[in-house]
């Protein structure tokens, strides 16, 4: 396994994804995790990430001493290269000429890292790499024992290596897709230099997770809040395989789900897979508690609390439950570790199905805790879940409650469900579903005038939203073809009673959030 020390770059998670894609298990730890943590992890290799700071600033981050004492290969990326240079006796200087974006790097000196990895060969027979560069500071003198392994016309030391100690570093970012040979470079490091095999495959991930769940729960009983979303669905399938009848799922139908969603969840899990699922039909309860409430944060709190109440009531009816399973995934773990130190503003109080209160004092079972979303999806398919469900767009915990602006009513939820369903059908039919990250309809309670035949209509508006994003922190609105929008608009106005007009949301995030509330 590989340890990645995070110096705070925006793209550190991508390093972990690259290493995992190479079939090697890795974890991220903050740069200041300390010597003991590094030693205890016992990595076969260490990667030092990029970061926003300047190594030339007093008190700037450094790798723990254990990194250099363990005798394992180390790869420094960007800031990681600079701190490696500083800590081992080289020099780094700030430079007027900053470099961001595309660059072409010449590989030099036949290093084990870059040998035969190239995009082009120049007239003199040197390998050239197309890379993505982002730095202000630069290494100006190599530490003793190091040689230069890459350069650009502007940057003499774009890469360095001490092959005796197996220390390598590059100033560019091999983890981003703009560096076309990035994956090859990580594979070279983890396989050839660190000697890690390709043990992290979906089959092994499943076997390993099953063995760990069995060891943890023994003959105990496990409760899972099943939402129908990707993560809890994969947990259900995995636990069903691991412990079969010891698992009971509770599915809360809030009445704020998409068209036929509750039935589809029951059909798949209870009927097809044979999982024990209790469906709590709580539509009336949610709608009555939401009645007349139009403030978004108040609505979110009501939905979150009602969810917990219903879930606890159902759980209370079960006897001798020992464990509570949750679909926590690795980015949640990283994020909450980061959130402890961060001072981020609360934009929305997120409610996650499965985020349950501390007083439910059961031991947690979190079999996806170390997995990235793409890994969760891959094992979901391998566990026999339909592709369509595993590759579904995310759906927020509060559901249609945050897509019906203002007060929620049964009639508006029904209207929205139908409109949303038409939008999804057309996105799938046109092949745009998989080209967008999230798409949905929103119910606007403003009325607008329309005309059908000779009649006047005065009815609410439906907004359509489709975005493209990698991390949901920022997003672009999707440039859907006019023809597609046209079909959606016609179908919605014609097929859904009570809609006079359809609009398309062309706001990016920021400044707009993805959901409207």
Identify whether 173 is a catalytic site residue: yes
Work out which of 398, 400, 408, 493 binds ligand XMP, going by CB under 6 A: 398
Work out which of 134, 246, 352, 436 binds ligand XMP, going by CB under 6 A: 352
CB of 396 vs ligand XMP, minimal distance in Å? 3
Of residues 188 and 300, the one with the C-beta less far from ligand XMP? 300
Of residues 77 and 480, the one with the C-beta less far from ligand XMP? 480
Whether 86 contacts 92, CB under 8 Å: yes
Number of H helices, E strands in the chain: 15, 21
Stretch that binds ligand XMP, among 21-29, 35-43, 271-279, 394-402 (CB under 6 A): 394-402
233 is in an annotated binding site: yes
Q: Does 73 bind ligand XMP (CB under 6 A)?
A: no
Which position among 78, 194, 196, 249 bears the catalytic label? Answer: 78
Identify whether 175 is a catalytic site residue: yes
Q: 331: buried, middle or exposed (CB in 10 Å: 19+, 13-18, 0-12)?
A: middle
Residues 6+ apart with CB under 8 A from 155: 99, 103, 133, 138, 171
Which of these, 492, 433, 435, lies nearest to 462 by C-alpha position?
A: 492
Work out which of 154, 472, 490, 497 binds ligand XMP, going by CB under 6 A: 472
256 CB-side CA count, 13 A: 33
Whether 331 contacts 27, CB under 8 Å: no
Whether 154 contacts 115, CB under 8 Å: no
Q: Does 509 bind ligand XMP (CB under 6 A)?
A: yes
Work out which of 90, 159, 228, 396 binds ligand XMP, going by CB under 6 A: 396
The rounded distance, in Å, linking the Cα atoms of 1 and 25 is 5
Work out which of 225, 397, 401, 460 binds ligand XMP, going by CB under 6 A: 397
231 is in an annotated binding site: yes
Work out which of 350, 410, 429, 435 binds ligand XMP, going by CB under 6 A: 350
Which neighbouring-strand residues pair with 504? 464
Of residues 167 and 395, the one with the C-beta less far from ligand XMP? 395
Work out which of 197, 218, 394, 481 binds ligand XMP, going by CB under 6 A: 394
Whether 141 contacts 91, CB under 8 Å: yes
CB of 227 vs ligand XMP, minimal distance in Å? 9
Q: Is the dihedral of CA 87, 92, 98, 102 positive or negative?
A: negative
The rounded distance, in Å, linking the Cα atoms of 387 and 185 is 31
Residue with tokens 């004092």: 361
111 is in an annotated binding site: no
Stretch that binds ligand XMP, among 23-31, 99-107, 186-194, 396-404 (CB under 6 A): 396-404
Which neighbouring-strand residues pair with 77? 170
Q: In what order do the strands lie in the sheet with 2-6?
A: 26-30, 2-6, 45-48, 74-77, 167-170, 159-162, 147-151, 99-107, 127-135, 120-121
Of residues 439 and 462, the one with the C-beta less far from ligand XMP? 439
Compute the radius of gyration of the chain from its Cα atoms: 26
Which position among 99, 175, 187, 366 bears the catalytic label? Answer: 175
336 is in an annotated binding site: no
Stretch that binds ligand XMP, among 105-113, 114-122, 164-172, 347-355 (CB under 6 A): 347-355
Q: Per the structure block, which two tokens stand in for 438? A: 């999230």
393 CB-side CA count, 13 A: 26
Residue 237's alpha-carbon distances to 108, 247, 271, 511, in angstroms, are 50, 10, 13, 38
Of residues 7 and 440, the one with the C-beta less far from ligand XMP? 440
Of residues 127 and 398, the one with the C-beta less far from ligand XMP? 398
The rounded distance, in Å, linking the Cα atoms of 379 and 204 is 10
Q: Does 373 bind ligand XMP (CB under 6 A)?
A: no
Stretch that binds ligand XMP, among 275-283, 290-298, 366-374, 390-398 (CB under 6 A): 390-398
Which of these, 238, 207, 208, 206, lies nearest to 222 by C-alpha position?
A: 238
Q: Does 391 bind ligand XMP (CB under 6 A)?
A: no
Segment (H or E) for 251: strand 247-253
CB of 355 vs ligand XMP, minimal distance in Å? 8
Work out which of 9, 82, 436, 438 binds ligand XMP, going by CB under 6 A: 438
Stretch that binds ligand XMP, among 286-294, 310-318, 345-353, 489-497 (CB under 6 A): 345-353
Q: Per the structure block, which two tokens stand in for 450? A: 């329309």
Of residues 46 and 462, the one with the C-beta less far from ligand XMP? 462
CB of 395 vs ligand XMP, minimal distance in Å? 7
255 is in an annotated binding site: no
Of residues 382 and 515, the one with the C-beta less far from ligand XMP? 515
Helix, strand, coil shares of the chain as percentages rounded to 5? 35, 25, 40
Q: Which of residues 115-174 bind ligand XMP (CB under 6 A)?
A: none
CB of 427 vs ligand XMP, minimal distance in Å? 16
Q: Does 514 bind ligand XMP (CB under 6 A)?
A: yes
Three-class secondary structure of residue 378 per DSSP: helix
Work out which of 39, 178, 241, 348 binds ligand XMP, going by CB under 6 A: 348
38 is in an annotated binding site: no
Stretch that binds ligand XMP, among 379-387, 389-397, 428-436, 481-489 (CB under 6 A): 389-397
Point out the residues that are catalytic: 78, 173, 175
- Tell me the binding residues for ATP: 227-233
- Tell me the binding residues: 227-233
**Residue ranges binding ligand XMP (CB under 6 A):** 348, 350-352, 394, 396-398, 438, 472, 509, 513-515
């Amino acid at each position: 396994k590989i340890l990645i020390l995070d110096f705070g770059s925006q793209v550190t998670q991508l390093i972990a994804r690259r290493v995992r894609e190479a079939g090697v298990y890795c974890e991220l730890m903050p740069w200041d995790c300390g010597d003991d943590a590094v030693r205890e992890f016992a990595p076969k290799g260490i990667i030092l990430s990029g970061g926003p700071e300047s190594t030339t600033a007093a008190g700037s981050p450094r790798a723990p001493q254990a990194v250099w004492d363990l005798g394992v290969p180390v790869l420094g990326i960007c800031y990681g290269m600079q701190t490696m240079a500083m800590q081992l006796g080289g020099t780094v200087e700030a430079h007027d000429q900053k470099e961001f974006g595309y660059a072409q790097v010449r590989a030099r000196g036949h290093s084990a890292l870059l040998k035969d990895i190239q995009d082009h060969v120049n007239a003199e027979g040197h390998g050239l790499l197309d890379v993505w560069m982002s730095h202000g500071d630069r290494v100006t003198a190599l530490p003793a024992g190091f040689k230069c392994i890459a350069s650009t016309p502007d940057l003499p030391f774009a890469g360095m290596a001490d092959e005796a100690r197996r220390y390598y570093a590059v100033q560019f970012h091999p983890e981003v897709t703009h560096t076309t040979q990035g994956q090859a470079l990580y594979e070279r490091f983890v396989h050839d230099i660190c000697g890690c095999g390709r043990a992290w495959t979906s089959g092994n991930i499943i076997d390993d997770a099953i063995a760990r769940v069995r060891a943890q729960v023994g003959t105990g009983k496990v409760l899972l809040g099943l939402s129908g979303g990707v993560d809890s669905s994969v947990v259900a399938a995995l636990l069903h395989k691991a412990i079969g009848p010891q698992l009971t799922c509770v599915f809360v139908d809030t009445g704020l789900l998409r068209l036929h969603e509750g039935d589809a969840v029951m059909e798949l899990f209870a009927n097809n897979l044979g999982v024990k699922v209790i469906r709590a039909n709580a539509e009336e309860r949610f709608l009555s508690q939401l009645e007349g409430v139009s403030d978004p944060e108040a609505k979110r709190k009501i939905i979150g609390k009602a969810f917990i109440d219903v879930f606890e009531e159902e759980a209370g009816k079960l006897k001798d439950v020992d464990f509570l399973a949750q679909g926590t995934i690795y980015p949640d773990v990283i994020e909450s570790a980061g959130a402890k130190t961060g001072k981020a503003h609360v934009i929305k109080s997120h409610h996650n199905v499965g985020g349950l209160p501390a007083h439910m004092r059961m031991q947690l079972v979190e079999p996806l805790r170390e997995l990235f979303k793409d890994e969760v999806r891959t094992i979901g398919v391998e566990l026999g879940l339909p592709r369509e469900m595993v590759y579904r767009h995310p759906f927020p915990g509060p559901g249609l409650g945050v897509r019906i602006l203002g007060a929620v009513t049964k009639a508006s939820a029904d209207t929205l469900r139908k409109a949303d369903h038409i939008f999804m059908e057309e996105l799938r039919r046109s092949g745009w579903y998989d080209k967008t990250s999230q798409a949905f309809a929103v119910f606007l309670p403003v009325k607008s005038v329309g005309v059908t035949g000779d009649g006047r209509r005065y009815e609410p508006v439906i907004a359509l939203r489709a975005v493209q994003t990698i991390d949901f922190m920022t997003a672009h609105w999707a440039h859907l073809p006019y023809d597609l929008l046209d079909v959606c608009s016609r179908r919605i106005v014609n097929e859904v009673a009570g809609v006079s007009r359809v609009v398309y949301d062309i706001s990016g995030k920021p400044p707009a959030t993805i959901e409207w509330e």
